[in-house]
Chains A and B, each alone.
Chain A
Amino acid sequence: MTAATEQGAKRGGGVSWPVLLVGLAIVSPLLWILASGIGKDPHDIASPLIDKPAPAFALRTVEGDREVTLDSLRGKPVVLNFFSTWCVPCEQEHPALLAASRAFGDRAAFVGIVFEDTRDAVTRWLDRHGGRGYPVLIDVGGPAAIAYGVYGVPETFIIDGGGTIRQKFKGAVDFGTIRAALEEVR
Chain B
Amino acid sequence: MRSRIVAALGALACVAALVGTAAAQRRGEPVRGADELALGPDVPVVVGAPAGPPVTGQALEERSWALDLGIRCPVCQGQAIAESPAESAKHMKRQVRAMVAAGYSDDQVMSYLEHSYGEFIRLRPRAEGLNLLVWALPLTALALGTLIAVVVMRRRGRLTPPAPGAAAATATRPPAVDPALAPWLAQVRRETEGDDAPHNGR
Which residues of A come within 8 Å of B, CB atoms? 2, 4-5, 7-8, 11, 19, 22, 26, 30, 42-43, 45-49, 53, 55-58, 84, 86, 115-119, 138-152
Contact = CB atoms under 8 A, between A and B. Distances in A.
B191 interface: yes
B27 interface: yes
B184 A19 contact: no
Given A116-B88, A143-B41, A4 B116 contact: no
Given A48-B114, A141-B38, A118 B29 contact: yes
Interface in B64-106: 74-75, 87-88, 91-92, 94-95
Interface of B: 27-29, 31, 35, 38-42, 45-46, 74-75, 87-88, 91-92, 94-95, 113-118, 120, 137, 141, 144, 148, 152, 180-181, 184, 187-188, 191
B46 to A, nearest CB: 8
B184 A150 contact: no
Given A4-B184, A19-B148, A49 B91 contact: no
Contacts of A119: 29
Contact of A141 (B74, B91, B116): B91
B116 A140 contact: no
Contact of B144 (A22, A146, A149): A22
Contacts, number: 111
Contacts of B38: 141, 143
A149 B121 CA distance: 10
A25 to B, nearest CB: 10
B45 A56 contact: yes
Contact of A116 (B87, B181, B191): B87
Contact of B118 (A7, A142, A145, A149): A149
7 contacts: A55-B45, A115-B28, A138-B29, A143-B39, A147-B116, A151-B74, A151-B75
Contacts of A148: 116
Nearest to B46: A55
B108 to A, nearest CB: 15
